Amino acid sequence: MKSEISIGLLGLGTVGSGVAKILQQHQKDLRHKLGVPVLIKKVLIKDEGKDRQIALNPDIFTTDIGGILNDPSLDIIVEVMGGIDGAKQAIEKALRAGKQVVTANKDVMAEHGHELLKLADQEKCDLFYEASVAGGIPIIRTLEDGLASDRISSLMGIVNGTTNYILTKMKKENMSYETALEKATELGFAEADPSSDVDGLDAARKMVILSSLAFSTEVHLDDVLVRGMSEIQDGDLELADQFGYTVKMVGTSKKDEEGIEVTVEPIFLANSHPLAAVNNEFNAVYIYGDAVGETMLYGPGAGSLPTATSVVSDIIAACRNLLLGVNGKRLHAAQYERVMKEDRYCHAKYFHRLLVKDELGVLSKLTSIYSQHQASLQSVMQHPIKSEGKAEIILLTHHISRQQHVDIMSDLEGIASVISHYRIEGEESV
């Protein structure tokens, strides 16, 4: 029986400091749960002269990552330093050294997670990554354990707090996009370079991780259709509200007999859907299971202590496996072959906002294009604008394929300018 469990912490930034704080403050609780103390023995830092707001013995600080990864006395390596290449190499070296690994790195797990999990299986080690998606929400453990007996058919998630905060401020307080982004940056919700968030890449990486788990398939980043916030035009939020929708940046993943589709984009989400009420920096994941039906997990998607809570929950899981001698017993191999849906099999309702010449016969030409592509229209309306000789036309389709949508957009050239378009989701939920 081990008398203590020793941890090597790679990184002491926002999340790393939160992990150290929780391990310090909750030591009595951890000892009660596990029967042994869990102690940080080494910490990788970048700047030895930096003033740190946490009471750790400076003797455990080091700038030598090799000294941590090669230390045989360390049981668990916790990677919270960020980045991709360096973090991937560190995780690989730790696993090959027979150490258990906990990471909060969504970038690494989205791009290299499949190979790292295979390596963990090979080396009979644990690799936990709960904090890589949705901060303090236990979504990974829910998919792996809580819903392990169910078959997931789809999931939708607001998994980026920055974009959700911006859209909330734009809708609730009538802020401009620029002002809302500035406010998000001031509050620490957005990075100095917010492109990964607002372009949808951050959410896409998280949806790769969730989709791979939910469907036991190797979903890749290139499989995700991504549209960013630049697709949102002036007036779109007000129009969405008129029709009973809310604009949200949502990751959607669906699986049926035709395969898997994964998207991250701004959508028109029915106000009746629970995700429509998720505001500010909060995250939520809505899951559809054959047995459980519909369920949603909601909570803080980022921040030092919420994310650190998920990291520490993984540390506890790795500790328990160590004490029981069962590390690396859970296999991560995909159960199903990766089959991604073709556009002709991806169906949804669509909102199309068009600018046309205000002249006789233009509406007939528009509806003719939809008819040629066998796209049924739910409603057609002219939206008043202050532009002489121009008219704005709003069209809502019934369910059509993404291929029909793309073909219609192409055929509209020369007749109409497409101001914006959105997929419509959530109307089937009460």
Q: Is 366 exposed, middle or buried (0-12, 13-18, 19+ CB in 10 A)?
A: buried
- For the beta carbon of residue 98, count every other beta carbon within 10 angstroms: 13
- For the beta carbon of residue 314, count every other beta carbon within 10 angstroms: 25
Distance, CA of 275 to CA of 425 (rounded, Å): 11
Distance, CA of 216 to CA of 225 (rounded, Å): 20
Largest CA distance in the chain: 85
Distance, CA of 185 to CA of 345 (rounded, Å): 39
Whether 353 and 430 have beta carbons less than 8 Å apart is answered as no
Distance, CA of 402 to CA of 210 (rounded, Å): 23
Given the DSSP bridges, would you call strands 61-62 and 390-397 parallel, antiparallel or unpaired? unpaired
* Catalytic member of 206, 248, 255, 341: 206
- For the beta carbon of residue 220, count every other beta carbon within 10 angstroms: 16
Amino acid, single-letter form, for residue 144: E
Let me know if 28 is a catalytic residue.
Answer: no
Residues serving a catalytic function are 206
